[in-house]
Amino acid sequence: MRARKFDVFPYLLLLPAVLMMLAVNLTPIVQGLYMSLLKLNQYTLSQYLDAPFIGLENYRRVLLESHSPIRAGLGFAIRNTALYTLVVSVLAIVIGLGVAVLLNRDFRGKGLARTLLLLPWVVPSYVVGTLWGFMWQRDVGIVNTVLVDWLHLLDERPFWLLGSNSFWAIVIPTVWRAWPVMMLIFLAALQAIPEDQYEAATLDGVSKWKQFLHITLPTLKPVIVIQFMFQVIDNVYSYNIVSMMFGNGAGHPGEWADLLMPLLTRQSFSYWLFGQGAAVSFVMMVLMLLFVGIWMASFKRSMISEE
């Protein structure tokens, strides 16, 4: 039997796109890595990539020197980012999956309902931050008006943008914007599940809840795992909502609302420590690459074990 001849033409057609993607993605990564090795501050900014080379000094100052300006509030930002990422990712997936299950049935106005529910995702994140910043205002915000004046759930108007409440002030808008796209993805996955599986389970007397646990969830497991990974990546690098809600450049979100990216941007530009800021950014990128590698390896093993 003759061996099939290798056709190089399709790969040549893809080559320009591959080279462009490599240039677009690798160029800023390499430049950021090089910037992290330079003494790039307010005195050397005019030199930019010709600034003095100091090797790993920026990494040493950021990781080991407690008095580095970049590290001011870093502990709070790491804690908030971890909690924020976990809570937002879980809630967005749970709400998105729940609404997708409800929409995965025939009813009048189904198309209109799906369209309207996607509106939060269509709103730009900058607008979401600004909008919810006004909504959280203590005296004139709609949130306190509804909770206190209309529903009488609270006796007094809380400060949502101060103290520990500020954590939920950034979580809720992020979930509000994130869950519709989760709904859309899960809805597409649900429609790919063969209907005869549910029909057979119904004939056997299996309840809807058990069908969800033993048919829907196992089938959606690959989608859930991948979407959770994407949510983690998006939320670790979250910036726009916090930046706009607390003022351009992240203002001063406080102990419970400051995240890594707003803190890094604010401290880098406030103290002109662009080399140290680039070092922190590169460390974050490496950690996220490790997370993705471990997550994908674990996901692959779990899929193989089920076959």
pLDDT tens digit sequence for 181-219? 999 999 999 998 988 999 899 998 989 899 999 999 999
Work out the pLDDT band at 7, boundaries 50, 70, 90.
Answer: confident
pLDDT for residue 14 is more than 70:
yes
Tens of pLDDT, residues 246-270: 875 556 788 899 999 999 888 888 8
Residue 306 reports pLDDT greater than 50 = no
More confident residue, 107 or 200: 200
**Mean pLDDT, residues 78-92 taken together:** 96
Domain ranges of the chain: 66-272
Q: For 219-241, what is each residue's pLDDT tens digit?
A: 999 999 999 999 999 999 999 99
pLDDT above 70 coverage of the chain, percent: 95
Q: Note the pTM of the prediction, 2 decimals.
A: 0.89
76 — pLDDT class (breaks 50, 70, 90): very high
Tell me what pLDDT residue 301 has.
Answer: 67
Calculate ∠ Cα 163-166-171, nearest 5°: 150
CA distance 209 to 214: 9
Q: How far apart are CA 55 and CA 33, in angstroms?
A: 11
Task: Using the predicted structure, report yes or no on whether residue 3 has a pLDDT greater than 90.
Answer: no
Give the amino acid at 69: P
CATH 1.10.3720.10, domain 66-272, yes or no: yes
Least confident of 64-73, 145-154, 194-203: 64-73
pLDDT at 179 over 60: yes
How many Å apart are CA 111 and CA 299, to the nearest integer?
34
255: helix, coil or strand? coil
Residues 6+ apart with CB under 8 A from 8: none
Question: What DSSP designation does 96 have?
Answer: H
Report the amino acid identity of residue 182.
M
Report whether pLDDT(79) > 90: yes
Place of tokens 């509804």: 146
**Sign of the CA dihedral running 297, 301, 303, 304:** positive
> By the 8 A CB rule, do 136 and 157 touch?
no
> Across the chain, what does the average pLDDT equal?
90
Weakest mean pLDDT among 93-97, 167-171, 203-207: 203-207
Residue 106 pLDDT: 83
Q: DSSP string of 256-285?
A: TT--HHHHHHHHHHHHT-HHHHHHHHHHHH
Contact 158, 220 (CB under 8 A): no
The residue to which tokens 């070092």 are assigned:
279
Question: Over pLDDT 90: what percentage of the chain?
Answer: 66
68 pLDDT more than 70: yes
